[in-house]
Chains A and B, each alone.
Chain A
């Protein structure tokens, strides 16, 4: 074989191989390898679809919250939330100056937004909103890039150290799908947390929404949260950039070590 023929047979080889790879790539979608969403949703798994026609959410009546953290602990035990991670919690604030001071509590959880900024940035389709509005993460598809954690304006996502992927409040979907209330609602001693279907005009949440002025956290973020608050103080609605957390300052003074990669900055 002279040089030219060798050249041509090489070219032929390259062409054939390219065609083969191209054909393989093009036929792959028909084998369901490439998906617009994720395998669970494509299968139509009930846990992924949710309850069609409903729109779940919560109304939190802050006049009734006493800051007891029953919701925080109920959530932790119901969902086996790992140490130092929280799906819901109740920060405590001190407003005003002495002698005109009062305390405020702000129960927070995933807002299950109508326009969730965490979902739209997910590059693997692992996180998505069910048809009933509950935003969940498929812990077997998520690759742990953390884009959703940064995209959430409410800091309501974390890395689960056991599954090693993004994790968050599911509004206790596993309970809700069986007709139960979310753990935090069930355990709320003052009845501050009310759960229900916003599509149903007779639900408790719909009635609360129509009877009281309500608002949401950080409305400017444009995510349209579906957790509404009654009697939310304007001072903490935007979630403040005030100086240190007093709790942290006490921890620093006590000389407690910083073990986490990310920690609260102390003075």
Chain B
């Protein structure tokens, strides 16, 4: 006999839930940053020549995303003025509070990318001042770049992996509580980061370079890469959901309720429209050759991962811990942790991208791969 159906809650309270719309946005930013860094490392560390043209660009993108990301966290705080306490107090909880790991990661990672970018673009900065770096110096720079990139890869994985830990460590929330969470977050991060590159690269190549043309072969390569990342993401999600819903203990009841109630948002919108469709586009030569389809796939997958972050963070908190059924979240329009604050964060991102792309000679560097010496 299923006692659950015979049990009614007559009265209860509505419990508090702390995290709002800022948090999925934060996870999306750090994830995309990690992915952009990894893609830049394809060329910088692993020496994959076909990714060379976008290595510098995606490195700068990784930097900008991670500078903007923590603003979401500060906005989500109820007492943002006390941020210094995060650095000063509570160090005894360091081993058990994944949020605390952010103190080190969120400082070390953007600094490392900045140094790597400065090393990468040093010859160009010198050149603009009328100086030329010698061949020996350039080789030294290159070596330093490889070392920094190699340190950066585990750091990039950690900076997003730790956000997965933040959620995975919460055993009170069945949707968060899985050891797969960090790896699940990394897999979907690769999807959103590649999607974002697919959206931004053609804009910058077409409008902000001297050669003014979109590298269609690169777009096709990124679309194929995106598809493979989606395959990895889906496989991990398959393992997660089969174990969490089917072979789980008590948590499975809450998860069945959650996925049953949100079937449309999760399965149809997120999995089918935002993951399967871009995957098919990337794997099908007919679509992958078309700029518009590839762009469409990039946009869909970037949105899809944002929805996944939302479904995880907001959806997880919607599950009742002492109250029956689910809670509902209505983000405020203005104020802390609101729709406007997320839009502001995006505006900050765009402003920072503009600023960094003006300061760094990424277009001169990228032109090396598209324009012959004579043309220059």
B-binding residues in A (CB < 8 A) = 3, 33-39, 84-86, 89, 91-97, 103, 108, 117, 119-126, 141-147, 149-155, 157-159, 164-165, 220-222, 235-236, 238-247, 258, 260-266
Beta-carbon contact of B172 and A247 below 8 Å: no
Q: How far is the CB of A136 from chain B (nearest CB, A)?
A: 14
Which B residue's beta carbon lies closest to that of A118?
B172
Q: Interface readout for B190-203 with A: 1 if CB under 8 Å, 0 if not?
A: 00000000000000
Beta-carbon contact of B15 and A158 below 8 Å: yes
Beta-carbon contact of A261 and B91 below 8 Å: no
Beta-carbon contact of A149 and B16 below 8 Å: yes
* Chain B contact residue count (CB 8 A cutoff): 71
Beta-carbon contact of B9 and A262 below 8 Å: no
User: Assuming the A-B contacts A150-B18, A241-B257, are A126 and B12 also in contact, with contact meaning beta carbons closer than 8 angstroms in the complex?
Assistant: no
In the bound complex, what is the Cα–Cα distance between A144 and B20 (angstroms)? Answer: 13
Q: Shortest 10 CB-CB distances between A and B: which pairs?
A: A146-B18, A144-B78, A125-B90, A153-B172, A120-B96, A155-B15, A158-B16, A143-B82, A92-B10, A94-B8
User: Assuming the A-B contacts A35-B91, A264-B14, are A242 and B96 also in contact, with contact meaning beta carbons closer than 8 angstroms in the complex?
Assistant: no
Beta-carbon contact of B91 and A159 below 8 Å: no
Which A residue's beta carbon lies closest to that of B16?
A158
User: Assuming the A-B contacts A34-B88, A144-B79, are A240 and B7 also in contact, with contact meaning beta carbons closer than 8 angstroms in the complex?
Assistant: yes
Q: How far is the CB of A207 from chain B (nearest CB, A)?
A: 29
How many A-B pairs have beta carbons closer than 8 Å: the answer is 241
Return chain B residues, CB-CB under 8 Å to A264.
Answer: 14, 323, 325, 327-328
* Chain B residues numbered 50-94 whose CB sits less than 8 Å from any CB in chain A: 73, 76-80, 82-83, 85-93
Beta-carbon contact of A143 and B14 below 8 Å: no
| Cβ-defined partner of A145 (8 Å) among B7, B16, B77 | B77
Return chain A residues, CB-CB under 8 Å to B329.
Answer: 261-262
Return chain B residues, CB-CB under 8 Å to A149.
Answer: 16-18
Return chain B residues, CB-CB under 8 Å to A145.
Answer: 18, 73, 76-78, 99
Return chain B residues, CB-CB under 8 Å to A164.
Answer: 78-79
Q: How far is the CB of B304 from chain A (nearest CB, A)?
A: 24
Return chain B residues, CB-CB under 8 Å to A150.
Answer: 17-19, 170, 172-173, 176, 317
